[in-house]
Amino acid sequence: MKRHFFALSMSLAMMISLLPVTATAKNETQENEAAAQAAKTPVEPATSGDCGATENDHVKWSFDSRTGVLTISGTGAMADYKILKEDGVMHTSAGWKDFDEDITAVVIDRGVTSIGSYAFFRCTNLESVSILEGVESIGDRAFWNDFALKGITIPASVKKIGNTTDNSREVFYQCYALENISVSNGNTAYKSVDGVLYTADGTTLIQYPQNKTDKAYKMIDEATKIDFLAFNYTQNL
C-alpha cells in the first residue's frame, strides 16, 4: 500500500513539474508563429511625412489614395531628391515613391518656396499640377518622365526653373503628353507665348511642349537661343 501511494505521489509530482515547461513551450510556439505571420504581412507604406530641405523648412507631404492627390504643404523649401533603382525600376527617392504610379494630381500649397529636384520623377499617371503663388524655384528634372502631364502653369513668383548654368533645363523632359505651359501675369523671369516657355525677355526658348499639336513652329523674333533639350521628343513637328 505504501509503495503504491509512493508511486502515485511521484507520478503526480512529475506531472506538476512538467506543467510550467509545457506552458512555456506552448507560449514560445505561439510567439514564434505570431512573429512568422507578422513577417509575412506586408508593411503599409507611410502616406505622409516631412519633405523639408532643412530642419528649418517645415514642409510636409500627404497622399490621399482615394483621390490620387499628393499635397505638399507648410512653409519653406522642399528637399532635393535623386533617382533610385529598385528591382529594375527607377523612381524618385522622395517619401512618396511607393505611390509614384498612383499619383494623378499634385498640389503645392501656399507657403512652400521651392520644388525639389527629381521630386515628381516618373509619376507616370500624373495629369495635373497646381502650384500656388510663393514657389520661387523649380528644381532640375522635377517633372521628368511624367508621361500623362498635359499642362502646367508657372506662378508669378517663380524666378528659377531648372539648371540655368548650362542651358539644359530638363524640368519637363520626356513629358510626352505636355501640350501647354502657361506663366501667370506678373512673372519677371519667364513668359509663355502660345504655350511655349521663354525667358521673360524672349531671348531664350526654354521648352516647347512635346505634344503641342502644331505641325510647324516659328520662334518669336526676340529669340536668339534655344535650350539644349527644348525640342527633344516633340511629337508633331
pLDDT tens, position by position, 197-230:
999 999 999 999 999 999 999 999 999 999 988 9
- pLDDT-based confidence at 134, cuts 50/70/90? very high
Question: Residues 79-131: pLDDT tens digits?
Answer: 999 998 887 888 899 999 999 999 999 999 999 999 999 999 999 999 999 99
The DSSP bridge partners found for residue 89 are: 86
Number of H helices, E strands in the chain: 1, 16
**H or E stretch including 72?**
strand 69-77
Indicate yes or no: pTM above 0.85: no
Residue 62's pLDDT is what?
Answer: 98
- What φ, ψ does residue 117 adopt, rounded to 5°? -60, 140
**H or E stretch including 64?**
strand 58-64
Segments making up each domain of the chain, as ranges: 1-41, 48-226
Homologous superfamily of domain range 48-226? Ribonuclease Inhibitor (3.80.10.10)
